[in-house]
Structure 1
Amino acid sequence: MNTHLNAAADPEADPARDPRRDAIVENARQAFMSGGYAATRMEPIARAAGVSTATLYGYFHSKDELFDAVIADASDDFAERMCRVGASEGSAETRLTAFAEAYAGFMGDPFVRSVFRLVMAERPRFRDVAMAFFERGRTDFGGPLVRLLTELTIGGELRVDKPSWAAGQLMGMIEHPVFFMPLVTGDEVHAARTERQIADDAVRTFLARYAG
């Protein structure tokens, strides 16, 4: 099981899950992340997952199909994490801070960056997969915040004419230091501020512009 994302749920807790498929996808994810698409081979993934190569091919007929499944499962994991954000209660500042801190923690996760690096690296080969991944991210990650901003505007706590634009502004203030800078400079380079400080600063700046 990946330590960052719950990619393979306990089959006893969710009988609909297939533990063999989960093991294959989890080990394929690790292989693709560490070696890239071209260097990844099916046989080592089968061994690491504890299944035969024939069993692996019974689930996934090709490496392309397995790669698609890895990205789809990663998208599901990401969406599940972000859909829980925004359900907090309290003032606009409290709820926005809850979102911002969760989003900063998510975007600051090295594993999340690894998935994005993989998708970007393989974009020429898997254009449709890459575009679907980014489009889903835009909807699943921004959607909860747009709904929160709309609710807070209706309640009079914010003055937001275009919630989607405002959501992009808040998320952008968080993404730049915790995601894009490490994506470019490498995971060993760390921002001077903590993720919590970055989130709190972003919310204060946002409220200075949009508070009701």
Structure 2
Amino acid sequence: MNAPTDKIKRGRKFDQVLDGAREVFLRDGFEGASVDEIARAAGVSKATLYSYFPDKRLLFMEVFRLECDRQTGAAMNEIDFCAPIAEVLRQAARHMVLSFLAPFNQAVFRICVAEADRFPDLGAAYYDSGPLRLRHEIVAHLDQARARRELAIDDLDLAADQFIELCKTDLYTRCVFGVDHRFGEAEIERVVEGAVTMFLARYGG
């Protein structure tokens, strides 16, 4: 099969490739995922796959980047940024906790850590698409709250990092190390409320 050149055809096959790659990467890991298997899972030829992604690492990070886009878009649509800052932080914290615990995000994190020594650019791309992007989003909204005098923050980057880490308390660590994978609503709310309370105790205006 020749590589498609028509934009409509390219879009259709492009999505197939990403769906197949997502399935195989999560099942086999980055190194274990073969181009043959990704092409089979996607229902395309290797020629088609390579016409979109000549480098497997680029394909892996595109899968992750699109998932980041999806999750960020969902959060931006659901968080009411006109609400009082405590409620905005609460909604943001809940999205972060659920995102940190999501099986897909956990799998991507493990793959990037496992491959970081051999493929440092993979780890760097993960950091840019995930943690760094998350920090930028939070900094922007903290800055707006500071301008409204709802928060008193000198170092926005540090405050954003602290809030992110507060949202990783307990559940995230247990999940990363495989101790637990399922958490009840009460456990999630405990982390969310704790993160917001601690953050406002330090930075509340």
Residues 1:135 and 2:125 aligned together: no
Aligned to 1:67: 57
Query: How far apart are 1:165 and its partner, in Å?
Result: 0.9
Q: Deviations over 1:177-210 (max 9, x none)?
A: 2333311235537589522331122101111111
Over 3 Å counting, the alpha-carbon distance change for 1:164 and 1:38 in structure 2 is closer
Over 3 Å counting, the alpha-carbon distance change for 1:45 and 1:186 in structure 2 is farther
Q: 2: CA distance between counterparts of 1:178 and 1:167?
A: 19
Gap runs ≥5 in structure 2: 1-7
Q: Is the 8 A contact 1:82 1:140 kept in 2?
A: no
Aligned to 1:168: 161
Over 3 Å counting, the alpha-carbon distance change for 1:136 and 1:45 in structure 2 is closer
Aligned to 1:81: 71
Q: Taking structure 2 as the reference length, what is the TM-score of the superposition?
A: 0.82
Q: 2: CA distance between counterparts of 1:159 and 1:16?
A: 52
Over 3 Å counting, the alpha-carbon distance change for 1:166 and 1:73 in structure 2 is same
Letter paired with 1:32: F
Q: How does 1:102-113 map to 2 (within 5 A)?
A: 102-113=95-106
Gap runs ≥5 in structure 1: 1-14
Say which of 177, 190, 205 aligns to 2:198: 205
Q: Is the 8 A contact 2:24 2:41 kept in 1?
A: no
Over 3 Å counting, the alpha-carbon distance change for 1:194 and 1:130 in structure 2 is same
Aligned to 2:141: 148
Aligned to 2:34: 41
Residues 1:55 and 2:38 aligned together: no
Aligned to 1:11: none
Q: Is the 8 A contact 1:146 1:163 kept in 2?
A: yes
Q: Taking structure 1 as the reference length, what is the TM-score of the superposition?
A: 0.80
Aligned to 1:159: 152
Q: Is the 8 A contact 2:17 2:49 kept in 1?
A: yes
Residues 1:179 and 2:169 aligned together: no
Residues 1:98 and 2:91 aligned together: yes
Q: What's the secondary structure of 2:167's corresponding residue?
A: helix
Aligned residue pairs, count: 196
Aligned to 2:109: 116
Aligned to 1:24: 17
Over 3 Å counting, the alpha-carbon distance change for 1:187 and 1:113 in structure 2 is farther
Over 3 Å counting, the alpha-carbon distance change for 1:208 and 1:60 in structure 2 is closer
Identity, % of aligned positions: 26
